[in-house]
Structure 1
Amino acid sequence: MGTITKGILGGFSGTVGTVVGANWRGKDIIRSRPKKSSKEPTEAQIQQQLKFRLVMKFLTPVSAIPKMYFGSNAGARSRLNLACSYTIREAVVLNAGIPELVFNKVIFTKGELPGFQNFSVTPKAGGELEFGWTDNSAQAYAKATDCFETLVYCDELEEFQTFDNNEQRDAATASQILPERFRGKPVHLYCFFRNADRSKASNSLYAGEVMVLP
């Protein structure tokens, strides 16, 4: 059943007969009701579906970040669409027919800000990660006020911890304390800079897999 959203002459949502109404990116659209296929999916189609599910499960908890910082919207494709497509294409491999993420190829942000120089991460007792880098705030579009952010992913827990406490590029150092459940486990670490008004970012850096100390 369809629902009229803006009076009798407005758009509608739902199904009416053979058409489906929806609001897509602020526009009212209608399209044909999809027909169920009687064909069995091919092996390639099944693998693509599995890749898509894997990537969406991985990206969804932190989707706000690629939505803001992964390149530019390209026509009908959102930044999140672009991040999903990139990850499927570049950061997923098949292992005995099962898709797996290649963590060192994952990118969460893609932008014009300069990234890191001489980046380092040092695990400390108590679940602390200590970060360091060279201040390159005079380089191209970089500014001293650019802020440091991280995404820490524990594959064993299938859980992210993000970090944004406004440590600036010119500070050249930052630290993050992870929850107790992360301690004693390996984590994958991603870092990026974003500008003060959150309109631009650098490409995210894969900083490696580190063991969180108890």
Structure 2
Amino acid sequence: MARITKGILGGFSGKVGTIVGANWRGQDIIRSTPKPSSRPPSEKQLLQQSKFKLVISFLQPINSIQKRYFGSGTGSKSRVNMAVSYTINEAVEVVGDVPQLMYNKVLITRGDLAGFQNVSATPQAAQAIVLNWEDNSVQGNANAADKVNAVCYCEELGTFEIFESLGERSFLTAAVTLQSYYAGKTVQVWVYFNNTTETLACNSPYLGTFTIL
């Protein structure tokens, strides 16, 4: 591996012949294309591949949220990559050699905006979920106009439902309504605030598993 310091064209990303260019930790580097290995992957490598596949499949539908609201967005690592790394390291457990998500440790968003105070979710008739929280709009960098959002995930169907701008922090309540085919299904629920300029969000609290009425 070599570091590019100066040149007519500067750094590049991608493959040119037998050379691969990339940006690593903020520096432009080049390296030769790795030779394919005939050695079968180890059990540890296979497990890591399974974790990666599980997490990528799970997070892909919500990457539009995480592109905006996961981490600071500084440095060489993208917000989406930070979300993947966090989830693999903090929100996956292995049961009988099979990786599984720990939903209570999953973060949809991660940021420095003041979060919810005593937030709860209650299923209601007609596939509704009512959210309630306490007012903390004068604490830290919170603002009464911060936007409320909710994310629901149904493992059985493998689907996310995303509800953005449900209301404001000062409203202290909001509600979401799922499609009729969610009746009787269980869903995981997370919520998060973002500021009005859409530059900052809070860590998304996990509210639990609920059966939709």
CA distance in 2, matches of 1:16, 1:75: 25
Matched, 1:181 2:181: yes
CA distance in 1, matches of 2:110, 2:163: 18
Letter in 1 for 2:163: F
Offset at residue 15 of structure 1 (A): 4.7
Offset at residue 48 of structure 1 (A): 0.4
Matched, 1:63 2:55: no
CA distance in 1, matches of 2:114, 2:17: 53
Post-superposition CA distance 1:123-145 (Å, at most 9, x none): 11110111111111001000000
Post-superposition CA distance 1:51-101 (Å, at most 9, x none): 000000000000111221111135221111111111111111111111100
The change in CA–CA distance for 1:13 and 1:104 in structure 2 (over 3 A counts) is closer
Q: Does the residue aligned with 2:55 lie in a helix, a strand or coil? A: helix
Q: Does the residue aligned with 1:85 lie in a helix, a strand or coil? A: helix
Structure 2 partner of 1:76: 76
The change in CA–CA distance for 1:202 and 1:11 in structure 2 (over 3 A counts) is closer
Post-superposition CA distance 1:143-176 (Å, at most 9, x none): 0000000110000001000001340000001011
Q: Does the residue aligned with 1:141 lie in a helix, a strand or coil? A: coil
Offset at residue 12 of structure 1 (A): 7.8
Offset at residue 118 of structure 1 (A): 1.8
The change in CA–CA distance for 1:129 and 1:20 in structure 2 (over 3 A counts) is same
The change in CA–CA distance for 1:10 and 1:107 in structure 2 (over 3 A counts) is closer
Letter in 1 for 2:117: Q
Contact 2:188/2:207 (8 A) holds in 1: yes
Structure 2 partner of 1:161: 161
CA distance in 1, matches of 2:119, 2:16: 57
Corresponding residue pairs, total: 204
TM-score by length of 1: 0.87
Matched, 1:100 2:100: yes
Contact 2:189/2:208 (8 A) holds in 1: yes
Alignment of 1:4-153 (within 5 A): 15-20=15-20, 31-153=31-153
Identity level (%): 48
CA distance in 2, matches of 1:91, 1:11: 35
CA distance in 2, matches of 1:34, 1:93: 31
Gaps of 5+ in 1: 1-8
Letter in 1 for 2:56: M
